[in-house]
Amino acid sequence: SQTIHQWPATLVQPVGSPLSLECTVEGTSNPNLYWYRQAAGRGLQLLFYSIGIDQISSEVPQNLSASRPQDRQFILSSKKLLLSDSGFYLCAWRYPSGGGFLGEAFFGQGTRLTVV
Amino acid sequence: EDKVVQSPLSLVVHEGDTVTLNCSYEVTNFRSLLWYKQEKKAPTFLFMLTSSGIEKKSGRLSSILDKKELFSILNITATQTGDSAIYLCVGASGTYKYIFGTGTRLKVLA
């Protein structure tokens, strides 16, 4: 069966420090991968989307970047965190789209990031 | 701009009550409408709806889509305290994009 791992679960980082959040998927090949951020009182905001190794699409210009060095690994990074980067970060995967209905995405447990 | 609007924003009911959660959407290149339940951390998938008027049902939960009115509802009958969560409505667009509503926070009191 497929599983998704995301870590760390919580993180407190000072302003200006770097960030690295990691997400891995097991039990499937060539998944589509996502990074979302959920701010209090707001819906999930798509940050990055990837259809394959080194194929990353950015949805929102910001202080963050993403990389996909391996098929089932997705990393969210920042060189210098801002206070506004605080939030709940979720990684998700889904089966590759075959051109038909866009099926459901499966989420990791999330990382609560507090920038202080 | 694509958007998904859910109502009410929050709801408090007692065990045994029936609730209806509403979702309206404006999504370009619409593919499907999904519902998720989010308790503490990861949203968990409930339903995917692609056709108008066909009810999807799972236990006490059911959902239906109206593609003409761009609307979906999620019904929960005989609510239990374990139903307390945020319910997310999601519009799927194109080949990869999911547009999330802000959610309805449901609290079920014993």
Tens digits of residue pLDDT in A21-67: 999 999 988 899 999 999 877 789 999 999 999 899 988 867 899 99
Cite the beta strand spans of A27-64 per DSSP E: 32-38, 44-52, 55-58
The span from the CA of B108 to the CA of A95, in Å, is 34
Query: Is residue A97 very low, low, confident or very high in pLDDT (cuts 50, 70, 90)?
Result: low
| Under-50 pLDDT residues of chain B | none
In total, chain B counts a number of residues equal to 110
C-beta of residue A82 within 8 angstroms of C-beta of residue A63: yes
Task: Identify the residue among B96, B99, B100 best suited for mutation to test binding to A, counting A beta carbons within 10 A and taking the highest.
Answer: B96
Q: Are strands B19-26 and B3-7 parallel, antiparallel or unpaired?
A: antiparallel
pLDDT in tens, B12-26: 999 999 999 999 999
- What distance, in Å, lies between the first and last C-alpha atoms of chain B? 41
Does A100 have pLDDT greater than 60? no
The span from the CA of A109 to the CA of A5, in Å, is 7
Nearest alpha carbon to residue B66 among B52, B54, B51: B52
**CB-based contact (8 Å) between B91 and chain A?**
no
Nearest to A104 among B48, B97, B103 (CB): B48
Task: Identify the residue among A102, A107, A109, A112 best suited for mutation to test binding to B, counting B beta carbons within 10 A and taking the highest.
Answer: A102
Chain A contact set for B103 (CB, 8 A): 43
How many contacts (CB atoms, under 8 Å) link A and B?
Answer: 57
